[in-house]
Structures are given as structure tokens and as C-alpha cells.
């Protein structure tokens, strides 16, 4: 699943061509994705100007004139690909295609169809069922060790699971939690409520650093993900523990271990991370 860096990279790529432009044409090639598309979806969007592109957690928010927000989640395999001109080769998984008045088109491709799109009045956005309970943005200034400590207080779930809880911090996924915990030398198995404040003071900067480095690298291309221009991200070449089972730890040279937590693979160094 595209995580925060992949979604942010996609948002930035789209913003270059969509910001300030009018949606001149839009076609939905099926009535639903993970959920049904809103009634009159394409008709409601067509003709509106894009006022801004934002991100909240793993969601892209396309703000349209008239106080409407086009909410997009890429799901497991969704991608939004830019090209100049309307595509002549629309495939079976190209579910939504739209173009601006400047001639740039965007194709939303989603083979597994776990993505979603919704149209939300801007005033109702904070109360949307998918956004209302989200925690703080990890790259925001107000995401601090004190905030994280308060969110983890009393939690008896493993640290890895706690950081994947979107009500604790929004947008973190499996890859970047593994990488941040390694940098902060915290075991993914440790109970979240027992992590001392001094370790959290290392963890929060580690989370921010990992995410910023991944965004700069265009995200991590694993399986389906590509950037909006079709290029692959390359942060996967910089993984320190993720997907490195049995390879030498970059800090102590002991083999990286893999365990399964909540149905997901966790990679860590048992010698370094306590």
C-alpha cells in the first residue's frame, strides 16, 4: 500500500499540473471503487477549477472551487499518472480519467480496486468518517515527543502496532515504522506504554527524518507504486531493516530478523533494538 511518502510524492507531482487549472473533462469508467462513487460524480467535478492539492494522512485532498473537496485514497495498488493529452490507450484498470483546460490528463489506475474517491463539502471535511478520528500529522510541528507520549500512555499493544494506529499518528505505514524504530533503537515488540520519554525524544525526529528522506527519494517502489510521472521511487535502496531479513544490520552486523505482527511483516535488529 502506498504510504505517506508515496502519497505526498503523488500529491506534489499532481499539483504541478493541476493547481489553478480547470477540470475540462472527466470520465468514470465504472460506478464504484472500494465504495460506490458519489452520485453524478463526473458531472459534479467537470468545469470546476482546482484551488489547491493537500494531503491528510494517506489521503489526497483536491480542493475545487465552490467549496467542494475531492477526497482520494490510493488503496493497495492505486496510482495517478500524468500525461500530456487525453490517453488513447485506456486499459481495464483505468477507472477514472480527467483532463485540465491546459491539456494535461490524469489516469487513476487501480488493479485491485481498494482505492476510493468521495466528494465532500469543505466545511464537513473534518467530520468525514475517514478523517474525523485521525491523529496528528507526523511531519507537522505540533507532532512532538510530548504529544506522542500522551497518545501512548497506558497502551499495552506492541510499539509497532501502536504507531500503525492512525488515531495515534496519521499516515504511518509498515515500511516507515520499521525504519524509524530501528533509527530510534526501539524494539517493535516493546509495549508502547513502557517506552521511556528519552526514547520518544529520539523516535519523533527519526520518524520525521525517514519520511522526509523517502519523499525526497520519490517514495519506495514496491510492486505497484510509481510516481505521477511514471518514474519509480528509489528509497527502497536505502532501507536499513525493512525487507532485509538475514542480511547484516547496518549498525552491529548481526542478521536482521523478521517476525509477523498483526498479520504484517516486521523487520528489526534484535541486538540493537530494545
Computed on alpha carbons and rounded to an integer, the radius of gyration of the chain in Å comes to: 20
- Alpha carbon distance 46, 98 (integer Å): 9
Catalytic residue status for 264: yes
Structural contact between residues 97 and 26, judged by C-beta atoms closer than 8 angstroms: yes
Catalytic residue status for 31: no
Strand partners, 84: 104
Catalytic residue status for 205: no
Of 2, 5, 138, 158, which one is the catalytic site residue? Answer: 2
**Mode of pairing for the β-strands spanning 116-121 and 68-73:** antiparallel
Strand partners, 119: 70
Q: What are phi and psi of 75, to 5 degrees?
A: 65, -145
The total number of residues written for the chain in this structure: 274
Task: Give the DSSP per-residue string, 221-252.
Answer: --TT---TTSPPP-GGGG-SSTT-TTSBPTTT
Burial profile 77-111: b = 16 or more Cβ within 10 angstroms, e = fewer: bbbbbbbeebeeeeeebbbbbbbbeeebbbbbbbe
| HSE of 33, CA atoms in CB hemisphere, 13 A | 27
Q: For residue 178, give the nearest of 71, 233, 256 by alpha carbon.
A: 256
Catalytic residue status for 145: no
Of 56, 58, 183, 199, which one is the catalytic site residue? Answer: 58
Residues annotated as part of the active site:
2-3, 58, 264
Amino acid at each position: 500500500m502506498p504510504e505517506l511518502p508515496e502519497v505526498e510524492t503523488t500529491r506534489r507531482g499532481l499539483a504541478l499540473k493541476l493547481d489553478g487549472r480547470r477540470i475540462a473533462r472527466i470520465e468514470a469508467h465504472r460506478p464504484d471503487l472500494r465504495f460506490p462513487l458519489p452520485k453524478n460524480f463526473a458531472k459534479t467535478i467537470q468545469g470546476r477549477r482546482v484551488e489547491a492539492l493537500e494531503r491528510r494522512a494517506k489521503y489526497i485532498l483536491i480542493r475545487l472551487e465552490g467549496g467542494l473537496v475531492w477526497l482520494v485514497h490510493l488503496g493497495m495498488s492505486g496510482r495517478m499518472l500524468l500525461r500530456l493529452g487525453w490517453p488513447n490507450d485506456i486499459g481495464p484498470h483505468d477507472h477514472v480519467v480527467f483532463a485540465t483546460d491546459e491539456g494535461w490528463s490524469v489516469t487513476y489506475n487501480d488493479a485491485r480496486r481498494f482505492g476510493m474517491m468521495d466528494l465532500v463539502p469543505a466545511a464537513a471535511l473534518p467530520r468525514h468518517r475517514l478523517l474525523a478520528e485521525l491523529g496528528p500529522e507526523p511531519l507537522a510541528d505540533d507532532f512532538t515527543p510530548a504529544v506522542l507520549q500522551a497518545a501512548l500512555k497506558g497502551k499495552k499493544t506492541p510499539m509497532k502496532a501502536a504507531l500503525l494506529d492512525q488515531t495515534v499518528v496519521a499516515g504511518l505505514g509498515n515500511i516507515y515504522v520499521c525504519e524509524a524504530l530501528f533509527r530510534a533503537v526501539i524494539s517493535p515488540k516493546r509495549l508502547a506504554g513502557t517506552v521511556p520519554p528519552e526514547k520518544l525524544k529520539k523516535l519523533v525526529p527519526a520518524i520525521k527524518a525517514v519520511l522526509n528522506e523517502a519523499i525526497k527519494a520519490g517514495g519506495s517502489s514496491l510492486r505497484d507504486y510509481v510516481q505521477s510521472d511514471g518514474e519509480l521511487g528509489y528509497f527502497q535502496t536505502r532501507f536499513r531493516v525493512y525487507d532485509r531479513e538475514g542480511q547484516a544490520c547496518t549498525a552491529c552486523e548481526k542478521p536482521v530478523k523478521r517476525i509477523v505482527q498483526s498479520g504484517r511483516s516486521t523487520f528489526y535488529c534484535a541486538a540493537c533494538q530494545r
